[in-house]
Amino acid sequence: MLIDFFLSLKESGLPVSVKEYLNLCEAMQKGLAYGSVDDFYYLCRTCLIKDEANYDRFDRAFAHYFKGVENLDAALTKLFEKDIPDEWLKMLSEKTLSDEEKAQIEAMGGWDKLMETLRQRLEEQKGRHQGGNKWIGTAGTSPFGAYGFNPEGIRVGQDKSRNKSAVKVWDQREYRDYDSQVELGIRNVQMALRRLRKFARSGAEEELDLDHTIKATASNAGHLDIKMVPERHNRVKVLLFLDVGGSMDEYIHRCEELFSAAKTEFKHLEYFYFHNFFYESVWRNNRLRHTEKFSTWDVLNKYGKDYKLIIVGDATMSPYEILQPGGSVEHWNEEAGSVWLQRLLATYKNAAWINPSQEAHWQWTQSVTITRQLMGDRMYPMTVEGLDRAMKALL
């Protein structure tokens, strides 16, 4: 009886299986959700959906299929009564906007103007959609969609004290924040952490030292003498170079998270900072960068070739900074940056460059292209998929 419903869930891209559908049927047969649509909705969700990231998509699919089963309620008119917190929008957009987009916003009259327009738009929507169940700006026709504050992603002005019984639960779409396709930044890095962990775990095993046990038992006149070898720890050694300052400022948050993830994952992690590109010195403490320098030669000599080299930087600079002696923006460098990078690559065969800027933009920046060539194309975007590739290349 619910086959069409099941198929429509499948169509909307939810990972539902036949077994789960049969579970639902069984539960229905047992009378677990009798006579209440809400109960039925909860039961469907419990049986079919196994990840809160899919809750929102399920809500939409459910609403779509069962539209009109219950009378629509006017309670949603309350939705836009509350003002939108400015701080929130600002934070959200600063995280998601690229430079060009920020410039476009400035062109529109800056933040305040934009906020004003957004608020007006909300007002209009309130009037037009009274009693409906649609939220503002879905398909990107509104300028706000284009700027990345698709209000779908945030709970614009949701009134907390809404009368609960009056609103259909699935239309509240309370789980939109958990939809992985909406959330970009933090979840990505969490995923990255997971990839790094997968990579770090390889080879962790506990073993009985058989040879040693036999030998020890024999010399113990046949009495058993068990010898164990300590659990093998993750032996991956990582040398991490982080670009700081300048164009990297907007990626600081993500780099921080990547860094803290890496720090807890790898026992042997050595990290250094550089600015824009590699020259004769790097530093470890950003505050003491001018007084406490490490010679790049020392780094090369100190850490063996079994270290894996990970460089995090946007590689966005003037090409001279890479190719010309004396091209650095900060000091006079005797040798070109490319020479130093090649030295590093000659020592560390396993290397990857992780670039937090968008992959689609790489080809427009000459310095990125040059760096990619120097790296032998081993440049990866700082996304889940990119980090996955990077980790594979490093193994």
Partner 1 sequence: MKFTGSQKYITTQDLMLAVNAAISLQRPLLIKGEPGTGKTMLAEQVAASLGKPLLQWHIKSTTKAQQGLYEYDAVSRLRDSQLGDEKVNDIRNYIHQGTLWQAFNADKQVVLLIDEIDKADIEFPNDLLRELDRMEFYCYETRETIRAKHRPIIFITSNNEKELPDAFLRRCFFHYIRFPDHDTMQQIVDVHFPGLKKALLKEALQVFFDIREMPGLKKKPSTSELLDWIKLLVAEDIPVDALKSGDANKLIPPLYGALIKNEQDVHLFERLIFLSKRRG
**Which spans of this chain sit near partner 1 (rule: CB under 8 A)?**
15, 17, 19-20, 23, 26-27, 30, 32-33, 38-39, 42-43, 45-47, 49-52, 55, 85, 87-88, 91-92, 160-161, 164, 169, 174-175, 178, 194, 197-198, 201, 222-224, 226
Structure tokens at 144: 């706000």
Cβ at position 361, least distance to partner 1 in Å: 27
Cβ at position 387, least distance to partner 1 in Å: 15
Cβ at position 43, least distance to partner 1 in Å: 6
Structure tokens at 266: 């790898």
Q: From edge to edge, which strands make up the β-sheet containing 293-295?
A: 293-295, 281-283, 268-274, 237-243, 308-312, 351-355, 379-381
* Count of alpha carbons within 13 angstroms of residue 323, beta-carbon side: 12
For residue 354, list its beta bridge partners. 312, 380
Q: How far apart are CA 279 and CA 270, in angstroms?
A: 18
Which of 252/329 has CB closer to partner 1? 252
Q: How far apart are CA 224 and CA 267, in angstroms?
A: 35
Q: How far apart are CA 328 and CA 34, in angstroms?
A: 73
Cβ at position 244, least distance to partner 1 in Å: 18
Structure tokens at 366: 């000459």
Which of 20/73 has CB closer to partner 1? 20
Cβ at position 218, least distance to partner 1 in Å: 14
Which of 195/378 has CB closer to partner 1? 195
Residue 64 identity (one-letter amino acid): H
Which of 175/274 has CB closer to partner 1? 175
Which of 108/204 has CB closer to partner 1? 204
